[in-house]
Amino acid sequence: MSYENGIPAAPTTEAMESDGDLLPATRIFIFEPGWTVAIKRGSEREFCHIMAPGQDYYHRLRDGELYLQRADDRICLACATRRGIIAHEPKQLRNPVDPALVDASELTVLDPGNGEL
Protein backbone atom coordinates (compact mmCIF):
# COMPACT_ATOMS: atom_id res chain seq x y z
CA MET A 1 0.00 0.00 0.00
CA SER A 2 1.39 3.40 -0.90
CA TYR A 3 0.91 6.58 1.08
CA GLU A 4 0.43 10.14 -0.12
CA ASN A 5 0.77 12.85 2.55
CA GLY A 6 0.30 10.25 5.27
CA ILE A 7 -3.02 9.06 3.78
CA PRO A 8 -3.29 5.61 2.19
CA ALA A 9 -3.65 5.93 -1.58
CA ALA A 10 -6.50 4.21 -3.39
CA PRO A 11 -5.52 0.74 -4.57
CA THR A 12 -4.68 0.42 -8.23
CA THR A 13 -6.47 -1.95 -10.59
CA GLU A 14 -3.38 -4.14 -10.64
CA ALA A 15 -3.39 -4.39 -6.86
CA MET A 16 -7.08 -5.31 -6.84
CA GLU A 17 -6.64 -7.99 -9.52
CA SER A 18 -3.69 -9.55 -7.70
CA ASP A 19 -5.58 -9.75 -4.41
CA GLY A 20 -6.89 -13.30 -4.68
CA ASP A 21 -7.70 -13.61 -0.96
CA LEU A 22 -10.97 -11.71 -1.16
CA LEU A 23 -14.02 -13.74 -0.19
CA PRO A 24 -17.44 -13.15 -1.72
CA ALA A 25 -19.83 -11.10 0.38
CA THR A 26 -22.18 -13.11 2.58
CA ARG A 27 -25.89 -12.37 2.34
CA ILE A 28 -27.88 -12.39 5.57
CA PHE A 29 -31.61 -13.16 5.89
CA ILE A 30 -33.89 -12.57 8.90
CA PHE A 31 -37.22 -14.41 8.75
CA GLU A 32 -38.40 -13.88 12.33
CA PRO A 33 -40.73 -10.83 12.38
CA GLY A 34 -40.11 -7.75 14.48
CA TRP A 35 -36.31 -7.49 14.24
CA THR A 36 -34.60 -4.45 12.78
CA VAL A 37 -30.93 -3.93 11.97
CA ALA A 38 -29.10 -1.08 13.71
CA ILE A 39 -25.56 0.23 14.04
CA LYS A 40 -24.03 0.87 17.45
CA ARG A 41 -22.73 4.44 17.49
CA GLY A 42 -20.92 6.31 20.21
CA SER A 43 -19.39 5.34 23.53
CA GLU A 44 -22.61 4.66 25.44
CA ARG A 45 -22.44 1.19 27.00
CA GLU A 46 -24.90 -1.17 25.33
CA PHE A 47 -24.90 -4.93 25.75
CA CYS A 48 -25.95 -7.96 23.72
CA HIS A 49 -28.89 -9.56 25.54
CA ILE A 50 -27.64 -13.13 24.99
CA MET A 51 -24.67 -14.65 26.76
CA ALA A 52 -22.11 -16.22 24.44
CA PRO A 53 -21.16 -19.87 25.07
CA GLY A 54 -18.68 -20.18 27.90
CA GLN A 55 -19.44 -16.69 29.24
CA ASP A 56 -21.41 -15.84 32.38
CA TYR A 57 -21.91 -12.20 31.45
CA TYR A 58 -23.52 -10.11 28.71
CA HIS A 59 -20.91 -8.82 26.27
CA ARG A 60 -20.73 -5.24 24.99
CA LEU A 61 -21.69 -4.08 21.54
CA ARG A 62 -18.75 -2.25 19.96
CA ASP A 63 -18.84 1.12 18.22
CA GLY A 64 -19.78 0.59 14.57
CA GLU A 65 -21.07 -2.95 15.14
CA LEU A 66 -24.24 -4.11 13.39
CA TYR A 67 -26.83 -5.68 15.69
CA LEU A 68 -30.48 -6.72 15.72
CA GLN A 69 -33.03 -4.87 17.81
CA ARG A 70 -36.60 -5.72 18.82
CA ALA A 71 -38.23 -3.53 21.45
CA ASP A 72 -35.54 -3.28 24.19
CA ASP A 73 -33.65 -6.42 23.09
CA ARG A 74 -30.31 -5.99 21.33
CA ILE A 75 -28.50 -9.01 19.90
CA CYS A 76 -25.13 -9.06 18.15
CA LEU A 77 -25.00 -10.87 14.79
CA ALA A 78 -22.92 -13.75 16.19
CA CYS A 79 -25.48 -14.50 18.90
CA ALA A 80 -28.38 -14.02 16.47
CA THR A 81 -26.79 -16.60 14.16
CA ARG A 82 -26.34 -19.07 17.05
CA ARG A 83 -29.97 -18.52 18.10
CA GLY A 84 -31.20 -19.16 14.55
CA ILE A 85 -32.61 -15.68 13.89
CA ILE A 86 -30.15 -15.10 11.06
CA ALA A 87 -29.92 -17.43 8.06
CA HIS A 88 -27.34 -17.36 5.30
CA GLU A 89 -29.58 -19.02 2.70
CA PRO A 90 -32.89 -17.62 1.38
CA LYS A 91 -36.13 -19.47 1.95
CA GLN A 92 -36.99 -21.84 -0.84
CA LEU A 93 -40.15 -20.99 -2.77
CA ARG A 94 -41.47 -24.51 -2.32
CA ASN A 95 -40.23 -28.05 -2.19
CA PRO A 96 -39.51 -29.39 -5.68
CA VAL A 97 -41.77 -32.16 -6.95
CA ASP A 98 -40.08 -35.42 -7.85
CA PRO A 99 -41.07 -36.07 -11.50
CA ALA A 100 -41.07 -39.82 -10.83
CA LEU A 101 -43.95 -39.37 -8.36
CA VAL A 102 -46.19 -37.35 -10.69
CA ASP A 103 -48.78 -39.17 -12.78
CA ALA A 104 -48.50 -37.79 -16.32
CA SER A 105 -52.28 -38.01 -16.81
CA GLU A 106 -52.76 -35.44 -14.02
CA LEU A 107 -50.56 -32.81 -15.67
CA THR A 108 -52.24 -29.87 -17.38
CA VAL A 109 -50.96 -29.18 -20.89
CA LEU A 110 -51.21 -25.69 -22.40
CA ASP A 111 -51.65 -25.40 -26.15
CA PRO A 112 -49.35 -22.49 -27.16
CA GLY A 113 -51.25 -21.96 -30.42
CA ASN A 114 -54.57 -20.86 -28.93
CA GLY A 115 -53.72 -20.51 -25.25
CA GLU A 116 -56.26 -23.14 -24.17
CA LEU A 117 -55.74 -26.07 -21.89
DSSP at 105: G
Model confidence at 2: pLDDT above 70: no
Q: For residue 66, what are the β-bridge partners?
A: 39
Model confidence at 24: pLDDT above 70: yes
Is the alpha carbon torsion for 57, 63, 64, 69 positive or negative?
positive
- Which of the two residues, 95 and 32, has the higher pLDDT score? 32
Contacts of 64 (CB under 8 A, 6+ apart): 39, 40, 41
- pTM given for the model: 0.59
Per-residue pLDDT tens over the stretch 101-114: 666 666 666 667 76
State percent of the chain over pLDDT 90: 45
